[in-house]
Structure 1
Amino acid sequence: MTTRRSTVLLLSLLMFLVFPVMAQAEVTHINMGEADGVSVNKEWEIQFNEGVEIVEESLSSVNIVVKDSFGQTVNVPDAYVKDKNTVVVPSPEEGYRGGEQYKLYVGKTIEFTSGVKMQDRYVKTFITERDVLAPDPGGDIVSYGTVTSDTLNIRKEPTSGSEKVGVLVEGDRVNIYNFDGYWAEIQHNGQKAYVHKTYMKLRSTTGGVLQDQIIVLDPGHGGHDPGAVGNGGQEKEIVLDVSKRVYDLLKQKGAQPLMTRDDDTYQTLGGRVQYADDNNNDMFVSIHANASTNTNVNGTETWCHGGKTSNKEEGCLLAKKINEQIAQMTGLNDRGVKVSELGTWNDFYVIRNTFAPSVLVELAFLSNSGDAETLLSDYYRDIYAKAIVKGIENYYASPIE
């Protein structure tokens, strides 16, 4: 378990009633304020009135809950009682994520030896301090890169035809001092040298895992091409709306999202790939809705390409991370990760021809009435967007073996 910092902020919970209360209608949690720049290993203390004695057995994952910005419950160790009237909520085993917002909920079912009941529930909002990957980057380092390919050639100049001066292997980590298009400037044997950034996972010197990542979002179809049509919906409209929501979430988290289209226009497949290439993207996410002649077919699936020349393993890992979040957060049938093959109906051009880790997300089946209900729902479109962002986040946070 990571070492916890000694600074502890106290949350004051007032107890207004000294007798059991009657059942009441659902009420909003009372806001206990906000805290910014909180340690990722923050241990919260919830202090009740002096003289109150808490029944420790009444503490549970129902009345003491921490949730992240996606509304998902965070797995924290069991809360416990300190000094009779204080509840301690430990931090997660691996700490909270840096630069993220969380909410600590305190329910009304906590019991006290006196029989006094809490009148209201409470929520504390806090934002963790941003990750700093080095104590002092020295002012020159702009990013860090960890190699994802088996080997990565080090070049004298930022071109593929330049002299090879060395090689890195999977898992090697380097300091990056500048970017020239797709090329990252590093130091090799005391000299300036270059490696291709698409074969590394990049991390900014500050911020969360999404900070400064150039992520191209590709809403499928558009213009004269509606894509799948069914149950009163059109694929081109659905995926554009979801993509815009993904864009906004990524922007909030410090990424540099881009969209191949942001209105009802048609873009060629080649034009979408060229747009990603022109913008030196770090990731390409194409978003679609599915359809089948069998209206009983349903669920979510995400494609990676097994025949592309670069980053196919990283693309499939990204597909796994996104798909598991969509299935989990929407409750849809999980059809899993699908792998495209060259020369087949699923030889998807946009994920075969992009250099960076690339996926094609099939949110759900517009041809299925149950799936279509989610695709046409404002509420579920938000969930789809949050799930995609969470999956991208989990991809960047996953270790390189």
Structure 2
Amino acid sequence: MTTRRSVVAFVGLLVLMLFPSVAKAEVTHINMGEADGVGVHKEWEVQFNEGVEVVEDSLSDVNIVVKDSNGETVDVPDAYLKNKNTIVVPAPENGYQGGQKYKLYVGKSIQFKSGVNMSDRYMKTFYTEREILDPPAPGEDVVSYGTVTSDTLNIRKGPDGSAEKLGQYVEGDRVEIYGFEGYWAQIRHNGEIGYVHKTYMKLRALTGGVLQDQIIVLDPGHGDHDNGASDHGGFEKDINLDVSKRVYDILEEKGADVRMTRTDDTFLELSERVEYGDKQMGDLFVSIHTNAYVESAHGTESFCYVDKTSNVEEGCLLAEKIHEQIVDLVGMYDRGVVEGTRGGFGDFHVIRNTHTPSVLVEMGFLTNDGDAEKLMSDYYRDLYAQAIATGIENYYKEPVQ
């Protein structure tokens, strides 16, 4: 009797091995490939385990979704079936943004011919490689590229605002740059050499991180006889300079070309600070300060300036990125980002008269016990510096909309 049962069991096992379709194939896993440094025109292949068959008509923009780092849905062409168990998700028509983070969601409403449903949705985070532009013409070298940040950007025949206009770019256009003459970037337009003003572009070096070769001007407020705020045994001029030097070290280590309006206890007029930034052909201007008021006033606030003709949006974006880092990393009370206007609150000379994206940061109140404890602390000054540097880096990571 035992032998007969063994034979029946063996035959049953053999049937299952030879005819596996008798059993319903279940969705047990998805293979979605590599996630880091993928090409900007990457077509994702979503491969389910062997044995399942996807119902192609069930695919939709509800169960196949790509989102960017801001949580916004990316417009990608319709997904389609490559074979029985593999879905292809095409890249956007113009590709993904280079050097950005995305998430690909595969939803539970996808149907399978076996009738088995997915137990949960899948999500894949991926990072695109920095976009490599077309190679330059023979004998020419692209030194960097830029993304236009203004509504329009005129292309001039020479490095001068009065030179003949050859054409124009619009916001979001990517531009190959072959060299710089002061604030002017040399480009090619319809086979002809042209120039555009670099102030209206977010620049990228060909190698390194987003901070590589960015000319960042740090402005430690006050100095010499101008102490600025004073309380709890400290002077604003000293705090500003100390934190600025720490920011300098962090940014330089990340490849930035950092300049400082002052590196010691000297005094500069406000106009001299602006002139210095212009002479350095800076890409950003960050003025670092310490606040003072009544004892109860506390927290950090940051200022951009909106009553000027250039880089208003970029300046305020820079302020937001730095501000949120100080609030989160240093643990400061959030007094907000203030949009300064002429004759109003936040009408600061150094951000009103600089052409580049500019911000003035008030780290905290030296007249407040809690803020002063942090401002006078070596540990917290490191955090302030890290927050400002990270905010600058995050600004450069933010794609041009």
1: distance between equivalents of 2:388 and 2:354?
Answer: 19
Q: Deviations over 1:191-228 (max 9, x none)?
A: 10000000000000111000000000000000000000
Give percent identity, aligned residues only.
59
The 3-state SS of whatever aligns with 1:281 is coil
Q: Deviations over 1:328-384 (max 9, x none)?
A: 001110111011110235310000111100000000111101000000000000000
Shift of 1:276: 0.5
Could you say which residue in structure 2 is the equivalent of 1:93? 125
Could you say which residue in structure 1 is the equivalent of 2:34? 4
The 3-state SS of whatever aligns with 1:93 is strand
Q: 1:40 to 1:173 in 2, by over 3 A?
A: closer
1:380 aligns with 2:380: yes
Shift of 1:95: 3.7
Q: Deviations over 1:48-68 (max 9, x none)?
A: xxxxxxxxxxxxxxxxxxxxx
Report the TM-score, using the length of structure 1 for normalisation: 0.68
Letter in 2 for 1:387: A
Shift of 1:75: 12
Could you say which residue in structure 2 is the equivalent of 1:398? 398
Check whether the contact 2:223–2:266 (CA below 8 A) recurs between aligned residues: yes
Shift of 1:231: 1.2
Letter in 1 for 2:132: A
Check whether the contact 2:305–2:347 (CA below 8 A) recurs between aligned residues: yes
Q: Deviations over 1:70-100 (max 9, x none)?
A: xxxx9999xxxxxxxxxxxxx982449xxxx
Could you say which residue in structure 1 is the equivalent of 2:217? 216
Could you say which residue in structure 1 is the equivalent of 2:264? 263
Shift of 1:137: 4.6
Check whether the contact 1:132–1:206 (CA below 8 A) recurs between aligned residues: no
Could you say which residue in structure 1 is the equivalent of 2:281? 280
1: distance between equivalents of 2:198 and 2:141?
Answer: 18
Could you say which residue in structure 1 is the equivalent of 2:344? 344
Could you say which residue in structure 2 is the equivalent of 1:143? 144
Gaps of 5+ in 2: 1-30, 39-100, 105-122
- Decide which moves more: 338-347 or 242-251: 338-347
The 3-state SS of whatever aligns with 2:176 is strand
Check whether the contact 1:132–1:207 (CA below 8 A) recurs between aligned residues: no
Check whether the contact 2:158–2:195 (CA below 8 A) recurs between aligned residues: yes
Q: 1:2 to 1:319 in 2, by over 3 A?
A: farther
Could you say which residue in structure 2 is the equivalent of 1:335? 335
2: distance between equivalents of 1:333 and 1:254?
Answer: 31
Could you say which residue in structure 1 is the equivalent of 2:131? 133
Could you say which residue in structure 2 is the equivalent of 1:252? 253
Letter in 2 for 1:268: E
Check whether the contact 1:305–1:315 (CA below 8 A) recurs between aligned residues: yes
2: distance between equivalents of 1:2 and 1:262?
Answer: 51
Letter in 2 for 1:366: L
1:321 aligns with 2:321: yes
1:165 aligns with 2:163: no
2: distance between equivalents of 1:75 and 1:378?
Answer: 38
Check whether the contact 1:2–1:95 (CA below 8 A) recurs between aligned residues: no
The 3-state SS of whatever aligns with 2:125 is coil
The 3-state SS of whatever aligns with 1:261 is coil
1: distance between equivalents of 2:273 and 2:156?
Answer: 29
Check whether the contact 2:102–2:127 (CA below 8 A) recurs between aligned residues: no
Q: 1:268 to 1:208 in 2, by over 3 A?
A: same
The 3-state SS of whatever aligns with 1:198 is helix
> Which has more helix, going by share of residues?
2
Gaps of 5+ in 1: 6-38, 42-73, 78-90, 97-130
1: distance between equivalents of 2:385 and 2:235?
Answer: 18
Check whether the contact 1:226–1:236 (CA below 8 A) recurs between aligned residues: yes
Shift of 1:286: 0.2
Q: 1:136 to 1:187 in 2, by over 3 A?
A: closer
Check whether the contact 1:145–1:202 (CA below 8 A) recurs between aligned residues: yes
1:190 aligns with 2:191: yes
The 3-state SS of whatever aligns with 1:387 is helix
The 3-state SS of whatever aligns with 1:351 is helix
Letter in 1 for 2:348: F
Could you say which residue in structure 2 is the equivalent of 1:290? 291
Please tell me the root mean square deviation across aligned C-alpha atoms, in Å: 2.4
Q: 1:201 to 1:75 in 2, by over 3 A?
A: closer
State which structure, 1 or 2, has the greater radius of gyration over its C-alpha atoms: 2
2: distance between equivalents of 1:156 and 1:357?
Answer: 25
Could you say which residue in structure 2 is the equivalent of 1:353? 353
Count of matched residue pairs:
288
Could you say which residue in structure 1 is the equivalent of 2:53? none
